[in-house]
Amino acid sequence: MIVVLVVVAVGALSGLLAGAATRRWPNHDPAAPSIGPGSPVLEAPTGRRARLRALWRSRLDPEVATGLALTLAVATFVALLAVAGILLLMVRTETGVARFDLASARWGATHATVGSTDVLRRLSLLGGTAGVIFVAVVAGFVEYRRLPDRAVPVLLAATVLGQFALTNGIKEIVERARPDISQLTGFAGSSFPSGHASAAAATFAVVALLAGRRRSRSARAVIAGVAVAVAVIVAGTRVLLGVHWLTDVLAGLAVGWAWFALWSIAFGGRLLEFGAPADLAERVSSRG
């Protein structure tokens, strides 16, 4: 069972790091901004074009609470796409992390047992098509009941279903062969990037975003940590089951989280209440 212990340990460590990073995330409340002289929320533009321009600036302005979130989301999206591209370059040139692909596949095959393979298969289901759709549907129902917002089902559908199309499209272009040693579970399509890793990364990230709304800092840290841990564990199972190379699952995680970051930008205005600071400022100004 050493392979199970290793993959769970790596996932747990990743989750702890993600939770610690989330706990340090700025804890601004978009619905209660600080309003003072020179505050950007008091500079109300006139005209439709000016209002649209001001809205876009607020989504990327680090001085605005929710703008900071989007600034970091944009940076994350770009950085993760770059990571996926670099990994593909490593695969093509057989350099960098790609040099560990064969060694990791052989290690998983050497230490596999009947019991460990069964556990890894079950954990891997969390990133399968049926698994992520089930998680998304249940989470969407629960979160819509808790904090109703029409953006919730649309965000879930765009994130979960969209990543399938993106990942499969990349697979068709890259056409990388899968490992040919001790494939211990079913698979389909080419190898790069890992569809299970991408699906788990995107799905559990968007669920964490929804579940973290109006939670305490500590609760958001725990939720984010669990989401990252599950995605990393799913990715690890695909390597240890012999159906993906290490670089496949790393690229899958990058693609999944990048896709989530993109849609968190698109729907952030609804879920993070971007209009609240400006609306509040307008009401305060009108009373004066």
Catalytic residues: 196, 244
DSSP secondary structure code for residue 41 in this structure: G
**Sequence-ordered list of residues with C-beta below 8 angstroms from that of 186, at least 6 positions apart, any chain:** 243
CA dist 128 and 134 (Å) reads 10
CA dist 115 and 112 (Å) reads 8
Query: Hey, what long-range contacts does 35-41 have (CB within 8 A, 24 or more apart)?
Result: 35/280, 35/281, 35/284, 39/281, 40/64, 41/277, 41/278, 41/280, 41/281
CA dist 105 and 98 (Å) reads 12
**Sequence-ordered list of residues with C-beta below 8 angstroms from that of 286, at least 6 positions apart, any chain:** none
The amino acid present at 223, given as its one-letter code, is: I
Q: Could you give the angle at which helices 2-23 and 114-124 cross, rounded to 10 degrees?
A: 30
DSSP secondary structure code for residue 40 in this structure: G
The radius of gyration of the chain from alpha carbons, rounded to an integer in Å, stands at 21
**Alpha helix positions (H), 24-95:** 48-60, 65-93
